[in-house]
C-alpha cells in the first residue's frame, strides 16, 4: 500500500515537471526518452550525444551527417567514447526543417559547447532543407559515419 502511494507520488511528480518548467524543449520532447535529459545516453543502448557529437563538426561532412541521422535514421554498429552500440535510430520525418535545425542547435550549444569549432554557426532551416534533399537510408548513413570517423582521426 505504502509503495503504491509512493509510486503514485513519484509518477505524478514526473508528469508534472514539464508543466512546472513551463516549456518542454524539442530535445526533451523527441530525444530525451532514449538519449536522456542530460544527453548522456544509456550504456549499451543509446549513445551519448553530450560531449560527443560537437566534435563531428571539426570535419566538413559532420554537419550533413547530423542532419541525416535525425532526418533518415541510423542503423549499424557504432562506437562512441570506446563503447559499442548496435541498434537503430528511427527517423523523424515529422520534424520540420526548422525543428531539425533547432533540436541540433539545442544539443550542440547545450551539451557540446566545449567541442564546437570556434567558427561554429548554428543550423538554419535552409541548410537543413538542402541537406535533407539527399534522401539516404539508415545503412548509408552508417557508412557515412565510418568515413566521418576516419577523417576525424586523420585530423
Ligand atoms: C527510440 C530511441 C531514440 C530516440 C527517440 C532518438 N534516438 Fe538518436 N539514437 C538512438 C540509437 C539507438 C542510436 C544509435 C544507432 C546505432 O547503433 O546505429 C542513436 C544515434 C543518434 C545519433 C548519432 C550519434 C553518433 O555518435 O554518431 C545522433 C546524432 C542522434 N541519435 C540524435 C538524436 C536526436 C537529435 C533525437 C531527437 C530528435 C534522437 N536522436 C532521438 C535512439 C534514439
Mean pLDDT along residues 20-32: 87
Q: Is 85 in the pocket of ligand 1 (CB under 6 A)?
A: yes
Q: Is 34 in the pocket of ligand 1 (CB under 6 A)?
A: yes
**Which residues does 141 contact at the CB level (< 8 Å), separation at least 6?**
65, 68, 69, 72, 73, 74
> Does 22 have pLDDT greater than 80?
no
pLDDT score at 62: 97
Least confident range from 3-17, 35-49, 130-144: namely 3-17
What's the pLDDT tens digit per position in 27-39? Answer: 999 999 999 999 9
Q: Copy the grid coordinates of residue 3.
A: 509503495
Nearest to 58 by CA among 18, 133, 130, 108: 108
Q: Is 130 in the pocket of ligand 1 (CB under 6 A)?
A: no
Instruction: Quickly state the pLDDT bin for 96 (edges 50, 70, 90).
Output: very high
> Does 60 have pLDDT greater than 90?
no
Mean pLDDT along residues 114-136: 96
Q: Is 30 in the pocket of ligand 1 (CB under 6 A)?
A: yes
Mean pLDDT along residues 37-46: 96
Superfamily of domain 26-154: Cytochrome c-like domain (1.10.760.10)
- Domain map of the chain by residue range? 26-154
Q: Is 152 in the pocket of ligand 1 (CB under 6 A)?
A: no
Mean pLDDT along residues 135-152: 95
* 94 three-class SS: coil
Ligand 1 geometric centre to CA of 15 (Å): 23
Question: Using CA atoms, how far apart are residues 89 and 75, in angstroms rounded to an integer?
Answer: 6
Mean pLDDT score of the chain, rounded to an integer?
Answer: 89
Q: Copy the grid coordinates of residue 132.
A: 535533407
pLDDT score at 23: 86
Minimal-distance CA residue to ligand 1 atom 5: 31
Instruction: Please report, rounded to a whole number, the percentage of residues in the chain having pLDDT higher than 70.
Output: 86
Ligand 1 geometric centre to CA of 96 (Å): 17
Minimal-distance CA residue to ligand 1 atom 41: 31
Amino acid at each position: 500500500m505504502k509503495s503504491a502511494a509512493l509510486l503514485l507520488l513519484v509518477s505524478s511528480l514526473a508528469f508534472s515537471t514539464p508543466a512546472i518548467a513551463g516549456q518542454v524543449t524539442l530535445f526533451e520532447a523527441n530525444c530525451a526518452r532514449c538519449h536522456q535529459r542530460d544527453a548522456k545516453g544509456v550504456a549499451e543502448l543509446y549513445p551519448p550525444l553530450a560531449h560527443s557529437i560537437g566534435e563531428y563538426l571539426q570535419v566538413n561532412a559532420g554537419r550533413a551527417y547530423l542532419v541525416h541521422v535525425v532526418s533518415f535514421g541510423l542503423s549499424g554498429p557504432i562506437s562512441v567514447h570506446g563503447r559499442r552500440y548496435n541498434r537503430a535510430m528511427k527517423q523523424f520525418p515529422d520534424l520540420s526543417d526548422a525543428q531539425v535545425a533547432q533540436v541540433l542547435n539545442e544539443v550542440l550549444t547545450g551539451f557540446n559547447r566545449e567541442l564546437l569549432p570556434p567558427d561554429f554557426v548554428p543550423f538554419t532551416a535552409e541548410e537543413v532543407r538542402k541537406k535533407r534533399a539527399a534522401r539516404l537510408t539508415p545503412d548509408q548513413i552508417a557508412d557515412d559515419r565510418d568515413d566521418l570517423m576516419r577523417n576525424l582521426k586523420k585530423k
